[in-house]
Amino acid sequence: MEYIAGSCNIGKGEVRQRQVVALIGLVLVIATTIGLIASESAKSARLSVFLPAMIFSVGYIQSRRKFCLAYGSTGTFNFGPLGKISKVATPEDRKADRKTAISILVQALSLALTITLIIYLLPL
């Protein structure tokens, strides 16, 4: 894999990290939901699942798109060892990356809100 402006800004190691973040977020969503339902919390407390759902969503979407939201926002990319960040060369490429970063943020917010709404509406 290689850097493609607005399309791909992370390599395998970075993708793996985002998969781990998504998995942690998913576990947190499940644990939070089970805890809230088991403790018979007020239905409105289920809205607290939004934060773990957001963690899951950001990790999941970034890993699927092979694009880091933070790197895209800051004009950087990484295809080498973890932590070895390179700068995006042209203003046009940075603009394309920022556009993709915003798109990923909107997608993650939408997914997290959908997950939260589903859990809120569960008839339990």
The CA–CA distances, whole Å, from 18 to 68, 89, 115, 116 equal 9, 24, 19, 21
Contact call for residues 1 and 66 (beta carbons, < 8 A): yes
Q: What is the DSSP letter of 80?
A: S
Q: What is the pTM of this model?
A: 0.91
Q: Which of 23, 38, 48 is CA-nearest to residue 119? A: 48
What is the pairing mode between strands 86-87 and 76-77? antiparallel
Domain ranges, ordered by start, for the chain? 12-121
Partners of 8 in beta bridges: 4
Please provide the average confidence, as pLDDT, over all residues in the chain. Answer: 96
Helix (H), strand (E) counts: the chain: 4, 2
Q: For the chain, what's the residue count?
A: 124
Q: What is the pLDDT of residues 4-59, one digit of tens each?
A: 999 999 999 999 999 999 999 999 999 999 999 999 999 999 999 999 999 999 99
